[in-house]
Structures are given as C-alpha cells and as structure tokens.
C-alpha cells in the first residue's frame, strides 16, 4: 500500500499469474516451504518443530499430491510467478458438501496454513 495524492491509501500490487503447480515446480516449492517453516519456527519454536528430514518429506508429499490421479484429499497447489521465480505457493483443499450446499462455482474450499509467500513477492 502507498499513499496517493490527497492522503488516500491505494494498493500497488503488481499483477502475478497463478497457475496449477506441476512436478517441475517441486524443487522450488520445497525450498519455499522449508524457508517458510524455518521463519515460523524462529517465531515460535515449540509448536513448530521441524523434522530433520522435512525437505525429503515435503518433496515426497508434494510429488504424490501432484501426480496422484485420486489423492486421499481433494487438494490444489497453485504457484504465483511474476517472472521465472515462484514467489508464492497456495495450498487449498476442496470440501465435499451435500449437493444442496454446493454453489454455482463448485465445491467450497479452504486455503491451508502451509501456503507461503516470499518477502520478494510483488506487493508483499
């Protein structure tokens, strides 16, 4: 946010493209998610203890989620790319609901807390 003439605040976020993550994204996603986990752990280490093999676990889980035709959870991994670098990863889960509750846009979903944005992302 920046202050516009006259004192009003305005959003100065640059546009980024968001797309579904692919297996080619996994190494960069692992780096981004591990970096984010370390930042969270530094703030509050007790509930956020990271496993020694966290990068390997994340890589295995992400790869399975991206290639599995029928994952156990209906999830979506999306990445934001202003240029060649992934600056954000969004992990969302689609929730099954009775047909009477489903909206015109499809099943509702949740953005999960393991989503991460790099401080270098436009508008961050």
pLDDT above 90 (res 59): yes
pLDDT of residue 5: 45
User: Does 78 fall in a domain?
Assistant: yes
pLDDT of residue 57: 94
Average pLDDT score over residue span 44-57: 85
Q: 74 lies in which domain range?
A: 16-117
User: Does 10 fall in a domain?
Assistant: no
pLDDT of residue 97: 74
Counts for the chain of helices (H) and strands (E), in that order: 2, 7
User: Does 122 fall in a domain?
Assistant: no
Non-local CB neighbours of 43 within 8 Å, separated by 6+ positions: none
User: Does 3 fall in a domain?
Assistant: no
Q: Is the pTM of this model over 0.85?
A: no
DSSP per residue, 21-81 = --GGGHHHHHHHHHHHHHHHHHH-TTTTPPPTTHHHHHHHHHHHHHH-SS-SS-EEEEEEE
User: Does 4 fall in a domain?
Assistant: no
User: Does 84 fall in a domain?
Assistant: yes
User: Does 123 fall in a domain?
Assistant: no
Contact between residue 89 and residue 75 where contact means Cβ atoms under 8 Å apart: no
Total domains in the fold of the chain = 1
User: Does 87 fall in a domain?
Assistant: yes
Please write the tens of the pLDDT for every residue from 77-113: 888 865 567 778 888 887 777 777 777 766 677 777 7
In angstroms, the CA 124 to CA 122 distance is 6
Residue in 98, 97, 95 with CA at minimum distance from that of residue 112: 95
């Amino acid at each position: 946010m920046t202050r516009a003439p006259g004192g009003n605040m305005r959003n100065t976020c640059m546009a980024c493209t968001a797309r579904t993550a692919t297996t080619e994204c996994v190494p960069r996603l692992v780096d981004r998610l591990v970096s984010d986990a370390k930042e969270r752990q530094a703030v509050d280490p007790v509930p956020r203890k990271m496993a020694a093999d966290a990068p390997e676990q994340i890589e295995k889980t992400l790869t399975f989620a991206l290639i599995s035709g029928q994952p156990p959870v209906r999830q979506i991994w999306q990445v934001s790319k202003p240029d060649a670098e992934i600056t954000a990863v969004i992990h969302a889960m689609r929730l099954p609901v009775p047909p009477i509750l489903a909206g015109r846009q499809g099943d509702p979903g949740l953005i999960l807390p393991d989503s991460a944005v790099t401080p270098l992302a436009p508008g961050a």
